[in-house]
């Protein structure tokens, strides 16, 4: 008799109000978000998934800790505000499920009780965020969508629950079926807010090209301008190689939501190559032509421009 296949109690994805989300996102937290109590000294990191989220978290953390990675307060780094707490062991068998049942309590409650100043992460689009969000500091990171698709494929494509091919990943992006909703709407809403005094709109590709310049801009925008000495440290330790080493140490010690063997953190690869233009090695000519047509139709009437090379 064949062994019964274990089905984890957490779904890979689900749909809520027309948008697909990972299973770790709570519909109730999305509903609560509009009335969530924002504090003026909050720093909100807002990104579309795979647009440099963990890189910006590290940069902000380094700015606040004077450039020392071991002094970063990572207490709120384990999850986006709309999720459950993902730094927990996700069961891989019935026995583990009985021994370690999933804690479905919202991470929003943890954030709500956290002392100030708070650094918060979310992937939700602007329409779903708190009504008074802009009284806090907001750092938005935007990345060219071709590299986002590739990074998402690298991140989730090997999961048997999907399964995902590169062609399917591209099609999902163009059909607005990627997690957290349509990319054009997400990025355009924050581009329209770029001149607000509390919003810093950062292009991933510009940050890669001139890290010191843009890190200083980010630091000043959140009220923490850096000396040359501290800026040098932030640039050094936020570099992809140093960041990857820090991430590895965190995973080994269970810091920052990286419980070894846990579900999202233990299954997926959060830090990929960090290279601009890597999509060219993976898109076929036909895929690229189709994607360009989609991109032009969605972005023709905006002056937001991306570097794809």
Count: domains in the chain: 1
**Proportion of the chain above pLDDT 90, given as a percent:** 68
Q: Is residue 81 part of a domain?
A: yes
Q: Is residue 241 part of a domain?
A: yes
Q: Is there a contact between 196 and 134 (Cβ–Cβ < 8 Å)?
A: yes
Range(s) of the domain holding residue 245:
13-144+179-269
Q: Is there a contact between 126 and 193 (Cβ–Cβ < 8 Å)?
A: yes
- State the pLDDT confidence band at 250, using cuts at 50, 70 and 90: low
* 196 in catalytic set: no
Q: Is residue 4 part of a domain?
A: no
Q: What is the pLDDT of residues 77-117, one digit of tens each?
A: 989 999 999 888 878 788 888 888 888 999 999 999 999 99
Q: Is residue 60 part of a domain?
A: yes
Q: Is residue 171 part of a domain?
A: no
Q: Is residue 235 part of a domain?
A: yes
Asked whether residue 264 carries a pLDDT value surpassing 70, the answer given is no
**What whole-number distance in Å separates Cα of residue 228 and Cα of residue 235?**
10
Taking 3-state DSSP, the helix, strand and coil percentages for the chain, each rounded to the nearest 5, stand at: 45, 10, 45
Q: Is residue 275 part of a domain?
A: no
Q: What is the pLDDT of residues 220-239, one digit of tens each?
A: 999 999 999 999 999 999 98
Q: Is residue 153 part of a domain?
A: no
Q: Give the H or E element holding residue 220.
A: helix 211-221
What angle, rounded to 10 degrees, do the helices at 145-156 and 285-299 form? Answer: 120
**What whole-number distance in Å separates Cα of residue 291 and Cα of residue 279?**
12
Please identify which of the residues 54, 123, 186, 214 carries the catalytic annotation: 123
CATH number for the domain including 260?
Answer: 3.40.50.300
Q: What is the pLDDT of residues 20-67, one digit of tens each?
A: 999 999 999 999 999 999 999 999 999 999 999 999 999 999 999 999
* Token pair listed for 172: 């999902």
């Amino acid at each position: 008799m064949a062994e019964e296949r274990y089905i984890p109690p957490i779904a890979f994805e689900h749909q809520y109000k027309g948008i697909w989300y990972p299973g770790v996102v709570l519909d109730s937290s999305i509903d609560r978000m509009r009335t969530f109590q924002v504090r003026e000294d909050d720093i909100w990191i807002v990104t579309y998934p795979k647009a440099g989220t963990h890189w910006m978290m590290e940069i902000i953390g380094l700015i606040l800790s004077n450039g020392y990675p071991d002094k970063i307060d990572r207490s709120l780094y384990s999850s986006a505000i709309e999720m459950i707490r993902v730094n927990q062991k996700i069961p891989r068998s019935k026995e583990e499920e009985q021994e370690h049942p999933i804690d479905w309590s919202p991470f929003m409650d943890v954030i709500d009780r956290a002392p100030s100043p708070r650094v918060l992460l979310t992937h939700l689009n602007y329409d779903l965020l708190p009504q008074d969000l802009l009284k806090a500091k907001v750092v938005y990171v935007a990345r060219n969508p071709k590299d986002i698709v590739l990074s998402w494929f690298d991140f989730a494509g090997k999961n048997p629950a999907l399964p995902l091919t590169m062609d399917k990943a591209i099609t999902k992006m163009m059909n607005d079926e990627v997690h957290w909703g349509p990319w054009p709407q997400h990025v355009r809403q924050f581009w329209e807010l770029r001149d607000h005094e509390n919003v810093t709109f950062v292009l991933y590709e510009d940050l890669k090209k001139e890290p010191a310049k843009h890190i200083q801009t980010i630091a000043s925008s959140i009220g923490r301008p850096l000396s040359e000495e501290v800026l040098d440290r932030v640039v050094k330790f936020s570099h992809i190689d140093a960041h990857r080493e820090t991430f590895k140490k965190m995973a080994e010690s269970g810091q920052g939501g990286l419980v070894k063997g846990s579900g999202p953190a233990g299954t997926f690869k959060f830090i990929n190559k960090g290279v601009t233009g890597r999509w060219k090695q993976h898109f076929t000519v036909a895929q690229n032509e189709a994607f360009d047509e989609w991109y032009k139709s969605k972005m023709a009437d905006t002056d937001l421009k991306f570097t794809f090379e």
